[in-house]
Amino acid sequence: MSTPYRAGAFRLSPEDYRALTDAAQANPEAYWQDQGKRLDWIKAPSNAQDTGTGWFSDGTLNASFNCLDRHLKTRADQTALIWQAEEAEHIIRLTYRDLHERVCRLANVLRDHGIRRGDRVAVHLPTVIEGVVSMLACARLGAIHVVLFGGFSPEAIADRLADSGASLVITANVGRRGAKRIPFKTTMDSALSLRPDSLSVKHVLVVSVTDEPVPMQAGRDDMLNPLLASASASCPIETMASTDPLFLLYTSGSTGKPKGIVHGTGGYLTWASYTHELVFDHQAGDVFWCTADIGWITGHTYVVYGPLSNGGTVLLFEGMPSHPKPGRWWDVIQAHKVTTFYTSPTAIRALMREGNDVPREYDLTSLRVLGTVGEPISQEAWSWFDDVIGGGRCAFVDTWWQTESGGILISPVPGAVKEKPASATLPLPGVNPILVDDKGHPLEGATEGVLCIDGSWPGRALTIWNDDALFETTYLRPYPGHYFTGDGARRDEDGYYWITGRVDDVINVSGHRIGSAEIEDALAAEHAIVESAAIGIPHDLKGQGIVVYAVARDPSHPDLEMLAVRAIAAKVGRYAVPEKVYIVPDLPKTRSGKNVRRLMRKIACGETDGLGDLSTLADPEIVEVLIAIVQG
């Protein structure tokens, strides 16, 4: 076990954390007004808190200005963005001046194509600089960006284009993956031809990632590069109200149909800046690498808006973790002296499988802060990441948050909040989590319950696109007065939070409430099991019974089921022993790498007729494989 943190290496101390928390508690209005000052406002807000009209409601500002223009006085020549291609020798470095110029050019092209404030612009790109540039160009004009994950199918794209009413799309001819080419433009063409009557797309701008030609539709499609070359390198900013939408983004769809979450400008950007600085201990000279695709909220807040509003240096990596050989990510960290590395438990599980010798070949001593997001992380994966990658020297931030929250809500603060492996630990100053019982009564002390947030915070989403009523019923109505997260959590005697999974995934066996994460944690400690998911299914006697899907390191291992049962009995308890353990080749995952339990539950219950929307799955074929295994 490593030391929890190196005293002195980080900006904040435990006393600082307490002082901030107390200040936020004592006078929230003053605290948030103060935090709002991290931004440059055109008209400074006279109030901070949301009293029904939104955060910083009478303030005006521009997000693109805050991420670019305001840095030009002090750090025009500092690197804003490092783009690392798959090939080690291919690197592009953009200073704040360069990035500002690129954003202005693209904003002018968008304006020439009729884009005005409030219009929706869809961005569908591989990991290229133009992704970041497109977001900031939209923000400059007050247009609302809708970033679509690059791996979406034509159906998934068409759904989101129709729902958002996007009038312009920015895509690429292709994406690169080793020698392979990913057909971005033709995928978009298919999406656009699927149900043309429900789409409003008038223009498609195409980034040339390679010189491969692609079919172009005259009058609709334009290659972007020539237009950028002839566009002006300066572009005025649009003055936006704090509560004007900055972007809309669809949730990853782990629990059902993705929701178009709308984020505002002033509150969201304050939150992005505040949380990026606090949680990642942002310091001058840091090289910040968040491996999330910009198609997810993590990419929005911690590739673009957080680090750039704070004047940081961001790394974008085009390639994959283990291509052309295992260790590629570690090579990138070494080459760019990455200080802050933020990724997902799912990626760590995959990298762990490659063993310890691979990372040991690289110098990873530049790292100061390691972070994860997206799912509970097992104690085993936590310790591996901390020890083998962090060398036991780094702060480890297990960050809990959601698309709807805009940024991190519960997480350690380096140097200030002592970690416990696999706990998201304590709320950030100013965030007030509470645990409630099924009836909504707040629970005190060390306990377990439904995780809600009391009151609001600047980063909270404004609404669901086109569906204010759904926003109310999903988040505000279930436990009146509180924001309902959909997640369950346990609070220990130190007040630390341990996320137990979605409330729907808390399994109640004969009155024992068991978080799916507890069972999965027990199995993760077994070397023979790579990954697992525990699901509750109806049971005549016990109320609910448990079914486990497990991926084996070596499927020919003779006693995997017995091994799993013993591990659960020993680590959780006999009452948590599953009815059935299915050994499967893989689990159904969203494209962001999250397990889709809703499907595993339906398959375990034999309800295979109405499996619902499969468009968010990374590999839809796994569904048939699971059905075959379960039905024996």
Check if the beta carbon of residue 219 is closer than 8 Å to that of residue 117.
no
The smaller minimum CB distance to ligand ATP, of residues 201 and 249, is found at: 249
Distances (CA, A) of 539 to 441, 534, 542, 597, 605: 28, 15, 6, 18, 10
SS3 content of the chain, % helix, strand, coil (to 5): 35, 25, 45
Q: Is 108 helix (H, G, I), strand (E, B) or coil?
A: helix
> Which amino acid is located at 88 in the chain?
A
* 608 belongs to the binding site for ligand ATP (CB under 6 A): no
Secondary structure element (H or E) that encloses residue 222, with its range: strand 221-223
We find the least distance from the C-beta atom of residue 404 to ligand ATP, in angstroms, to be 6
Q: Which of 135, 204, 214, 499 binds ligand ATP (CB under 6 A)?
A: 499
Q: Which of 120, 490, 591, 594 binds ligand ATP (CB under 6 A)?
A: 594
User: What is the CA 315 to chain-centroid distance, rounded?
Assistant: 16
Q: Is 91 helix (H, G, I), strand (E, B) or coil?
A: strand
- Which residues within the stretch 131-190 sit at the binding site for ligand ATP (CB under 6 A)? none
We find the least distance from the C-beta atom of residue 353 to ligand ATP, in angstroms, to be 21
The smaller minimum CB distance to ligand ATP, of residues 98 and 504, is found at: 504
In terms of C-beta density within 10 A (0-12 exposed, 13-18 middle, 19 or more buried), how is residue 179 classed?
exposed
**What's the chain's Rg over C-alpha atoms?**
24
User: What is the CA 603 to chain-centroid distance, rounded?
Assistant: 27
- Which residues within the stretch 306-365 sit at the binding site for ligand ATP (CB under 6 A)? none
The smaller minimum CB distance to ligand ATP, of residues 317 and 401, is found at: 401
| Residues 459-498 as x/- pattern, contact with ligand ATP by CB under 6 A | --------------------------xxx-----------
Check if the beta carbon of residue 487 is closer than 8 Å to that of residue 417.
no
Select from 37-45, 76-84, 361-369, 396-404 the region that touches ligand ATP (CB under 6 A). Answer: 396-404
Q: Strand 497-502 to strand 482-491: parallel, antiparallel, or no bridges (unpaired)?
A: antiparallel
Q: Spell out the residues 6+ positions from residue 111 whose beta carbon is closer than 8 angstroms to its own.
A: 141, 235
The smaller minimum CB distance to ligand ATP, of residues 118 and 256, is found at: 256
**212: DSSP letter:** -
We find the least distance from the C-beta atom of residue 402 to ligand ATP, in angstroms, to be 4
We find the least distance from the C-beta atom of residue 508 to ligand ATP, in angstroms, to be 18
Q: Residue count at the site for ligand ATP (CB under 6 A)?
A: 26
- 483 phi and psi angles, rounded to 5 deg: -90, 125
Q: In angstroms, rounded to a whole number, what is the distance separating the alpha carbons of residues 125 and 172?
A: 6
We find the least distance from the C-beta atom of residue 261 to ligand ATP, in angstroms, to be 8
We find the least distance from the C-beta atom of residue 460 to ligand ATP, in angstroms, to be 13
Q: In angstroms, rounded to a whole number, what is the distance separating the alpha carbons of residues 331 and 200?
A: 44
The smaller minimum CB distance to ligand ATP, of residues 185 and 591, is found at: 591
We find the least distance from the C-beta atom of residue 503 to ligand ATP, in angstroms, to be 9
* 516 belongs to the binding site for ligand ATP (CB under 6 A): no
- Which residues within the stretch 366-395 sit at the binding site for ligand ATP (CB under 6 A)? 373-376
We find the least distance from the C-beta atom of residue 485 to ligand ATP, in angstroms, to be 6
- Which residues within the stretch 406-435 sit at the binding site for ligand ATP (CB under 6 A)? 424
We find the least distance from the C-beta atom of residue 258 to ligand ATP, in angstroms, to be 5
We find the least distance from the C-beta atom of residue 296 to ligand ATP, in angstroms, to be 6
* 400 belongs to the binding site for ligand ATP (CB under 6 A): yes
- Which residues within the stretch 233-292 sit at the binding site for ligand ATP (CB under 6 A)? 251-256, 258-259
Two structure tokens written together for 391: 């060398």
Helical H runs in 165-296? 184-194, 224-230, 266-279
Q: Footprint of ligand ATP on this chain (CB under 6 A)?
A: 251-256, 258-259, 297, 373-376, 398-403, 424, 485-487, 499, 502, 594
